[in-house]
Structures are given as C-alpha cells and as structure tokens.
Amino acid sequence: KRVAILISGGGSNMVRLVEEMQAGRIDGAPVLVLSNRPQAAGLQRAAALNVPTQALDHKSFPDRAAFDAALHDALTAAQPDIVCLAGFMRILTPEFTAKWEGKMLNIHPSLLPLFRGLHTHRQALEAGVTVHGCTVHGVTAALDDGPIHGQAVVPVHPNDTEADLAARVLVEEHKLYPAVLAALCAGRTPHIAQSGAFPEA
C-alpha cells in the first residue's frame, strides 16, 4: 500500500510509521511526508529516511478552503492508498475530508469520545480521570470523530503533570499507530486494544 503522512511538527509518529514500513513490518511504502509548516523538524527527519517531502505553508493561502484544495492536489499527485495524519494540527474542511473518507486516519491523544480537541492531557487532569490514552480513528467531517480502529490506555498518576501524561501517552502512540496501519495494509479492519505502563496489579 502507498502511504502518505501529514505532519506539523516533530513527526515522531511519522518516524515510527516509516521505520516499520522500511523494516517490512508494515506492508506499505511511505510515498510522501507533507507538512503545513515548512519549518517542521519532521520534514528533515523524513528526508533523512529518504522519504519524499513537501511543505505546503498554510499561511500562504487566503483561506482554509484554498489550503485544503492545494493539499488535495498534492495528495492526489502522490496517489496514496492511505493517508495518516500524525501530529497534523490543521482542521480540515468537510469538503476535503469527504474526498478522502475511508482512506484517512488520525491519531488523537485521548480515549475518544472523551476529550476531543486540543490540550487533551490538561482536559484529562482537570477531569480527574484515572485512565487516559490515545485513539487511532478514521477521519470524517466531524472533528476527532469517525470509526475507532484502535486505542491504547495508560494510568494517570496523582501528581502527573501535563508533560508526564503526554510522554506516557506518546510512548503508546508509537506502538498503536504502527499496529493499526499494519492491519489496514494487510487488508484487515483493526480493532486494537492496547495497554501500557500500568503498575503491577
């Protein structure tokens, strides 16, 4: 399967997906890493892994629809079978998501449907939950909605800071996203439940 990955920052999830494909543990080929931020460190990391990269600076477009149209054209040129949003910090228009529905995945750092949107770890701490985690889901017009393909759960410790929680969740993201993509590339519909970092019972 041809896999395109969209990033906005460090791209740690992208790196894991690319590494697993290049190691042959995911039956996929990374055909493009695209960022809406030209300065995203993930672009250099993708280039170092010999993956074609593209920057599409959202600030050089008059509005969201214009950016999404250029993004659609860039993706169409790469002809991906699957598009992975990985730390991609743009809200996509319904017109765009409709064109890629069924082919587009996202990883969100919460146990959806809890804590949609931004600052999910702060939301979790403020809610006082004792478990938290991340979700890989199909992208639909509604934000952080869509069919759930996999989730990973971690404990929340009483004195956790936002950074502590983010780091614990990120470790699980780096395992969950490759597992979901591997299943999809193998033609399976994933339904993955993963747990990490629980104290011994």
- Chain positions contacting ligand GRF, by CB under 6 A: 7, 9-14, 42, 86-87, 107, 109, 166, 170, 173
User: Which segments of the chain are extended strands (E)?
Assistant: 2-7, 29-35, 53-55, 82-85, 104-108, 131-138, 148-155, 192-195
Catalytic residue, from 58, 108, 132, 174: name it.
108
Catalytic, 119? Answer no
Annotated binding residues, written as ranges, equal 11-13, 64, 89-92, 106
Least distance to ligand GRF, CB of residue 199, Å: 22
Select 121 or 184, whichever has its Cβ closest to ligand GRF: 121
Least distance to ligand GRF, CB of residue 62, Å: 27
Identity of residue 97: T
Select 118 or 127, whichever has its Cβ closest to ligand GRF: 118
Least distance to ligand GRF, CB of residue 33, Å: 11
The residue with its CB nearest to ligand GRF is: 87
Annotated binding residues for (6R)-10-formyltetrahydrofolate, written as ranges, equal 64, 89-92, 106
Give the contacts of 22 (CB within 8 A, at least 6 positions apart). 30, 49
The C-alpha angle with vertex 165 and arms to 109 and 126, in degrees rounded to 5, equals 85
Sequence-separated contacts (24+) of 46-55 with Cβ below 8 Å = 46/5, 46/7, 46/11, 46/14, 46/15, 46/18, 49/15, 49/18, 49/19, 49/22, 51/18, 52/78
Least distance to ligand GRF, CB of residue 19, Å: 13
Torsion of CA 193, 106, 95, 60, to 10 degrees: 170
Select 42 or 80, whichever has its Cβ closest to ligand GRF: 42
Q: Known catalytic residues?
A: 108
